[in-house]
Chains A and B, each alone.
Chain A
């Protein structure tokens, strides 16, 4: 009998009950909550007269609707304000292990503050009403997004009704070249297997290039597992994981710390574990990636060009390509380096951590925003990331370059607040989705790494960061 994968181990640790058809009650250790997908769940709980099962599993924040400037004015949009106030009221009524409301110095994007606070630990099941919950798998946790009915189900029962996924290993061998990041690695994987390539799978990212990533890089990689169709992505625990967690506010301390570390070190796939699918990439061959279409799989290297739909033989795919190029306002065979941008967005749960801001600042240092670029938004992932960046003087570099230095939140990744693209505007974005209308109706999104976004901001078009 072959050994267990990391996913097998995490799954087995959390099975409370199993039915004959394989449907499982899976215990949930950490429930992250934000304002958009929770109001109907709390309302459902109240209407049914149910109490939360274990409210100290909940860590909550407001991030999607919050403005990123002029916090002294509060939230101007009354509908957004009501949603954030509804979360305030629900947490006040039901409680939480920790709550970081709008304007709290530790407030931020839920997938940034969870790890930052030590609320995400190896061996946990972590859920949130948000698809990018896969981020937390970077810690050797089983983490995935859920819908609002499931948010209510977890609040009421501390369990999810679940079916086990298949195991996929994405192994990235070798060493990433200078200037090539976890973001490029993730986009290269999505380009290879497609946005549905991971559907039905839990992906474990392994190989030397993944082991060499910082926790920030691993979070970026796991964050994008959902864009490959996999609800959860994960990386095995190693010293990098343990070093990151030590001393975090919600991480274990004292005698518990040593016990926990001993346990966490077992959270790796066994050497003889069997995967249902394996994908292998050579890190040395990955170049900085730029998406050119309206799905994250529509991606190529910065040295590439926009493809020609006429060369696609499958009619549904060809129509999809034609529609994407029409929406993006791009002609076949356009070199990526000739695509000019109107706006740049550096932020989101994918790329707003301190390492991301350092990478962007390293490019922006001593340079100026191109005149043709209307706006460059730098939105830190949390209040603590913002404070750290300011302690390092990164905000000065951004401001001197003509970039805007904002308050933390989801911001222009999904444009639920006032930060958005106007119709036809083209944006280099460090976020995770280039769907039609994602950053604002009619907006055109190109997904890139933070350094690539900063380089586009100062030149006005995409450039190869390796030779910049």
Chain B
């Protein structure tokens, strides 16, 4: 996994609540057996005017110019600014894969759906929860400033605005450690292999029907 330390990134605002993972990456693209290549189909039904299918040449498809991702001022964005309950619905990890593949490194919202939130950390994509009032303010600043950028510092757990505001965000020590160092979580868990085996031996005696 790619490590995340600091980021100074252009912000793209997606001003909708309850953005579900079906919208982030529609089901037809889940037929892929690969982890990469979902970026061109991120928000496919909002981003293009035609119906997308796997294998299409996306560069030739008609764009919905009204959708934020297609606006010239947001090209190259690395931070997605979103509303509450972002990533609800299906557990598809293809959603964070698509966001990451497109080029996003962080998503800021007042709240996230649990499974999506968890999936982000496995892919070096940082989901940041800020208060609803802070997010409101960032939306206003983003709308009124061209080339609006935010600075994220994972070690300090801060989001800083060009106007000099600093917002603190929470993250568990375990997740922070894994992200800062780009660690393979399976490798970390396997350091406890003896504990897992001991647990299994206990259960085999107490509740043998579980196997």
Interface presence of B165 (CB below 8 A): no
The yes or no answer to B59 lying at the interface (CB within 8 A) is no
Assess whether A425 is interfacial by the CB under 8 Å rule: no
Chain B window 6-40, contacts with chain A (Cβ cutoff 8 Å), 1 for yes, 0 for no: 00000000011110101100111011111100000
Quick check: B54 and A196 within 8 Å, CB to CB?
no
- A21–B190 CA distance with the chains assembled, in angstroms: 19
Assess the B174–A161 pair: CB atoms within 8 A: yes
Would you give the 0/1 interface string for B117-143, flagging 1 where the beta carbon is closer than 8 Å to chain A? 011001100000000000000000000
Q: Are A40 and B33 in contact (CB under 8 A)?
A: yes
Give the residues in chain B near A16, CB-CB below 8 Å. Answer: 192, 195-196, 199
Check B17 against A317 for contact (C-beta < 8 Å). Answer: yes
Chain B residues contacting A429 (CB-CB under 8 Å) are none
* Chain A 225-264 interface mask (CB, 8 Å, partner B; 1/0): 0100111000000000000000000001000110110010
Candidates B45, B122, B200; contact of A437 at CB < 8 Å: B45
Chain A, interface residues (CB within 8 Å), range: 35 or more
Interface with A: B61-69, B70-78, B89-97, which one?
B89-97
B189 contacts A27, CB within 8 Å? no
> CB of A65 within 8 A of chain B?
yes
Residues of A within 8 A of B83 (CB): 316
Are A149 and B189 within 8 A (Cβ)?
Answer: no
Contact with B along A306-339 (1 / 0, CB 8 A): 0000000000110110010000000000000000
For the complex, is B41 an interface residue (Cβ under 8 Å from A)?
no
A145 in the interface, Cβ–Cβ < 8 Å?
Answer: yes
Bin the interface of chain B by size. Answer: 35 or more
Chain A CB within 10 Å — which of B83, B88, B96, B208 has the most? Answer: B88
**In the complex, are the beta carbons of A195 and B88 less than 8 A apart?**
yes
When the two chains form the complex, which single residue of B26, B54, B85, B93 contacts A147, counting CB atoms closer than 8 Å?
B93
Query: In the complex where A37-B93, A79-B32 touch, is A147 in contact with B122 (Cβ < 8 A)?
Result: yes
Whether B172 is near chain A, meaning CB under 8 Å from some CB there, is yes
**Which residue of the partner chain, among A53, A256, A433, contacts B196 with CB atoms under 8 Å?**
A53
Q: Is the CB of A40 within 8 A of B111?
A: no
Q: Give, as a whole number of angstroms, the nearest-CB distance from B19 to chain A.
A: 10
B84:A157 contact, CB within 8 angstroms: no
Chain B residues with CB under 8 Å of A149's CB are 93, 119, 122-123, 185
Decide: A414 near B27, CB < 8 A? Known: A23-B172, A131-B89: yes
Asked if B155 is at the interface (CB within 8 A of a chain A CB), the reply is no
Q: A88 contacts which chain B residues (CB < 8 A)?
A: none
Q: Which residue in B34, B35, B85 is a CB contact (below 8 Å) of A195?
A: B85
Give the docked Cα–Cα distance between A43 and B32 (Å): 13
Contact present for A200 and B22 (CB under 8 Å): no
Instruction: Determine the chain A residues whose CB is within 8 A of the CB of B193 once the complex forms.
Output: 157
- The answer to whether A316 and B118 have CB atoms under 8 Å apart is no
Which partner residue on chain B sits nearest A260 by CB separation?
Answer: B209
Mark A193-214 against chain B: 1 for CB-CB distance below 8 A, else 0.
Answer: 0011001100000000000000
Tell me the complex Cα distance, A257–B92, Å. Answer: 36
CB nearest to B171 among chain A residues: A21
Option from A20, A77, A148, A435 in Cβ contact (under 8 Å) with B22: A435
Q: Which of A4-31 contact B (CB under 8 A)?
A: 16-17, 19-23, 25, 27, 29
Interface residue A146 (Cβ < 8 Å from any Cβ of B): yes
Cβ-defined contact, B192 with A83, below 8 A: no
- Rounded to whole angstroms, the CA-CA distance of A231 and B116 in the bound complex is 11
Report the bound CA distance from A385 to B26 in whole Å.
29
Bound complex: CA of A420 vs CA of B17, how far in Å? 26
Per-position 1/0 for A148-161, Cβ under 8 A of B: 11101100111101
Interface stretch (choices A122-130, A280-288, A371-379, A389-397)? A122-130
* Chain A contacts for B190, CB-based, 8 A: 156-157
Q: Does B211 contact A (CB under 8 A)?
A: yes
A156 CB to nearest B CB, Å: 5
A131 to B27, CA, bound (A): 14
Q: Are B172 and A163 in contact (CB under 8 A)?
A: yes
A325 to B85, CA, bound (A): 20
Interface assignment of B173: CB less than 8 Å from any CB of chain A: yes
Chain B residues with CB below 8 A from A129, complex form: 91, 93
CA distance A82 to B55 in the complex (A): 14
Say yes or no: is B156 at the interface (Cβ < 8 Å to chain A): no
Q: Which chain A residues lie closer than 8 Å to B192 at the CB level? A: 16-17, 25, 159
**Residues of chain B lying within 8 A (CB to CB) of residue A148:** 35, 93
B51 on the A face (CB < 8 A): yes
Q: Are B114 and A231 in contact (CB under 8 A)?
A: yes
The answer to the question of A86 belonging to the interface, with a C-beta cut-off of 8 Å to chain B, is yes
Smallest CB gap from B53: residue in A: A79
Map CB proximity to B onto A113-153 as digits: 1 under 8 Å, 0 otherwise.
Answer: 00000000101100001110100000000001111111011
What residues on A are CB-neighbors of B196 within 8 Å?
A: 16, 25, 27, 53, 157-159
- The reply to whether the CB of B56 lies closer than 8 angstroms to some CB of chain A is no
Cβ contact within 8 Å between B189 and A196: no
- Interchain CB contact under 8 A, A438 and B22: yes
| A36 interfacial contact with B, CB 8 Å | yes
Given contacts A82-B33, A317-B17, A436-B45, contact A21 B172 (CB under 8 A): yes
Give the complex CA separation of A259 and B30 in angstroms: 43
Q: Is B207 an interface residue (CB 8 A)?
A: yes
CB of A437 within 8 A of CB of B22, answer yes
A388 within 8 A of B: no
Query: Do the beta carbons of B207 and A229 come within 8 Å of each other?
Result: no
CB distance from B186 to the nearest CB of A (A): 5
Closest chain A CB from B183 CB (angstroms)? 11
Q: Once the chains bind, are A21 and B174 in contact (CB under 8 Å)?
A: yes
Q: What are 21 inter-chain pairs, A to B, with CB distance below 8 A? A: A22-B172, A23-B175, A25-B195, A27-B200, A40-B35, A79-B55, A124-B210, A131-B91, A147-B91, A158-B196, A159-B189, A161-B174, A195-B88, A199-B114, A229-B88, A230-B114, A256-B209, A316-B16, A316-B84, A433-B20, A433-B90
The 4 A-B pairs with the shortest beta carbon distances in the complex, nearest first, are A149-B122, A252-B209, A147-B93, A147-B119
